[in-house]
Amino acid sequence: MSASVLLFWTVLVLAVVQALRKHAHASRVRKLMPPGPPGIPVLGNALQVPKDQPFRQFAEWSKTYGPVFSLNLAGKNVVVLNSLKAARDLLDRRSAIYSDRPRLIMANEIMMGGKAIPLMPYGNEWRKHRRAVQDSLNVRQANMYSAIQEREAVNLVRYLLDDPENWSKHCERSIVTNSFSVVYGDILAGKDYNGIMEHIWHTAHAVSHFAGKERHLVDVFPVMLYIPAWLAKWRREGDRLFRQLSDMFEGFFGDVKRHINVGDDQLSFSARMIRAGDKYGLDSFDSGWLAGLTLMAGIDTSYGMLSAFMFAMLWHPDVMQRAQAELDTVVGRDRMPTLEDYDDLSYVRAIVREILRWWPVAPLGVPKNTMEDNWYQGYFIPKGTMILANLWAMGRDSAEFPDPENFHPERFLQKDGKPESKPQAPFAFGFGRRICPGMHLAMRTLFIDIACILWALNINPKLSGDGKPLRPEKSEAVDDGLTTVPVPFACSIRPRFSRVRRIVETTTNRTAL
């Protein structure tokens, strides 16, 4: 036997032995992990997880294996948390080791150039970006955007009055316009405003779909990164999207700089980043990307929350009527609601919180990775385990939320009708160090949109030919991987009283910035 043949067989045997040892070690580790459904050799549970709405299957498995169970997805350890207690125990109280992200080569490193703060690994780079966003969107800063939020809420009502059949498109446009104004200010004078808003919506939706639904072999086999781009269509597509986003973000950020240079220093996230200079250790390119991703991050989810509200009103007219009674008492019918009414509209605020519980738009959030070995309730959770927080199952935990399938805002009020004295942050925004930094802004936007819609309009089901209400099925949803929203549905939207249109038009003129 020649030396080269001997070397080949020696390397092969050593590789097989190493693979067998690795498999044996993995098998021993999994025996210590939380129980879970049995799988098949090599692939484990990979073929058992549904492609669409996996959170429902996870909730079913939790009934058999408990609120914390594990999966083996083709060799990747996954632990699914289905209860608020487990999520708070691990993701909140042990956030120091439960704040990392799995490596997402295509979605983060290629498509986003490693600049996507929601997908960044935990570390110094993430901390710099996070601090900048937190400083700009905390509770105090979020209050500064009230004029923008009120203006867009009034505009939304105006569009719904003029064209109620296309309510969904108007909600999309309102969300994009609101987010754009917060991030960049009013910088599009003389440009194709409607076209730009439409482009942003489609781009944000495509990014959300790509990051949440699509899976790429390069994430499983990182060695594929060394394949030349001319041989890898997936790489060319990812690079193209990165360039497209960079051009768009740099363009908007540059427009804000030009406005500042000529003395038009408007209130916006970008203007604040520019004035901060190098405070956060971010150069102009990074700051532009951070602003752009702040714009993109909330569009799909905010639209989903508003769509879920419209859906809920069709099934729960009693909730709509109670909220309208509160609005008539607090606001009256001579003016529209504003964010100054926030503290006095307890029931409307409870509706916001109930929407976030009843229909979490991102039902599995963004996966986390453990940074150290850990034990929980006698079970081992090894370093590098992917952690999925099943927000959908948490909202349907009857121990936490009695009668969970019912849309019942009263659950967030005390017996006297006042808000909870010390409400926790809605779990729909995540946990621990990775909790959404824009949640205060998002909740205020949803609040003022809902308050203005319910003040001005009645939302009812369409009627069939024989007069029966046509409501969308509660079980039907569009699953886009990262977000899950109600299927498109029709509804009847009409003014609540005769003076609505005139007051809306007057308010539109007054709130124009």
228 residue type, one letter: P
The token pair at 353 is 């919180």
Residues in the chain: 513
Residues 339-354: pLDDT tens digits?
999 999 999 999 999 9
Burial of 14 (0-12, 13-18, 19+ CB in 10 A): exposed
Residue with the bigger pLDDT between 25 and 450: it is 450
pLDDT exceeds 90 at position 69: yes
The larger pLDDT score, comparing residue 21 to residue 63, is at: 63
Among the residue ranges 60-69, 436-445, 479-488, the one predicted with the least confidence is: 479-488
pLDDT at 210: 65
φ, ψ (nearest 5 deg) of residue 239 = -65, -40
For 204, the token pair is: 């944000």
Stretch 306-328: mean pLDDT: 96
The yes-or-no verdict on residue 12 having pLDDT over 70 is no
Sort strands 477-479 and 484-486 into parallel, antiparallel or unpaired: antiparallel
* Cβ-proximal residues to 244 (8 Å cutoff; 6+ apart), any chain: 203
Fold for domain 124-511?
Cytochrome p450 (1.10.630)
Of 148-157, 269-278, 492-501, the one with minimum mean pLDDT is: 269-278
pLDDT grade for 470, boundaries at 50, 70 and 90: confident
pLDDT in tens, 194-221: 888 888 888 877 777 666 555 567 777 7
Which 3 state secondary structure label does DSSP give 395? coil
Give the pLDDT score at 17: 47
H or E element: which one contains 492? strand 492-495
Neighbours of 162 (CB within 10 A): 11
SS3 107: helix
Q: Is the pLDDT confidence value at 278 over 90?
A: no
pLDDT of residue 21: 54
CA–CA dist 499, 456 (Å, integer): 9
What phi and psi values does residue 96 have, to the nearest 5 degrees?
-60, -25
297: confidence class by pLDDT, cuts 50, 70, 90:
confident
> Per DSSP, what are the bridge partners of residue 469?
463
Amino acid at 306: L
Q: pLDDT (tens digit, 9 = 90+) per residue, 221-252?
A: 788 888 888 888 888 888 888 898 899 999 99
- Stretch 122-147: mean pLDDT: 91
- Average confidence (pLDDT) over 11-37: 64
- So what's the pLDDT on residue 20? 47
Q: What is the pLDDT of residues 75-111, one digit of tens each?
A: 899 999 999 999 999 999 999 999 999 988 888 888 8
Residue 317 pLDDT more than 70?
yes
Per domain, the residue ranges of the chain are 124-511
